[in-house]
């Protein structure tokens, strides 16, 4: 088990880069896994990200998706912990 609790997720995102969301589906269709955004993270998600900041860390450059998916599947990585926090947020009705 990797002990990465003090590490941050590091993917270089520029404001208008194409990004892909690799987190869990958000109820109501607001955000779905593997949805691509052509010009960075859209503003309409700001309120949701304010409620659950880990959502933002699950947006990655498209080229980084394989690496991010592996990290999400690896217990103890920052990506896996962020994914779990988003799942918990959803299960507690945060959306």
List all residues 6 or more positions away from 87 whose beta carbon is below 8 Å from its beta carbon: 24
User: Can you give the pTM of this predicted structure?
Assistant: 0.83
pLDDT of residue 63: 93
pLDDT of 2 above 50 = no
Using DSSP's 3-state secondary structure scheme, residue 60 falls into strand
Q: How far apart are CA 38 and CA 89, in angstroms?
A: 26
Q: How far apart are CA 95 and CA 87, in angstroms?
A: 11
Report the candidate in 64, 83, 53 with the shortest Cα–Cα distance to residue 20. 64
3-51 pLDDT tens trace: 444 455 666 665 578 999 999 999 988 999 999 999 999 999 999 999 9
């Amino acid at each position: 088990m990797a002990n990465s609790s003090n590490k941050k997720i590091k993917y270089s995102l520029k404001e208008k880069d194409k990004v892909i969301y690799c987190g869990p589906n958000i109820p109501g269709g607001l955000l779905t896994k593997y949805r691509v955004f052509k010009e960075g993270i859209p503003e309409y998600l700001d309120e949701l990200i304010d409620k659950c900041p880990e959502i933002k860390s699950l947006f990655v450059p498209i080229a980084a998706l394989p690496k991010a998916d592996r990290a999400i599947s690896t217990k103890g990585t920052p990506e896996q912990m962020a994914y779990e926090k988003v799942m918990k947020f959803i299960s507690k009705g945060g959306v």
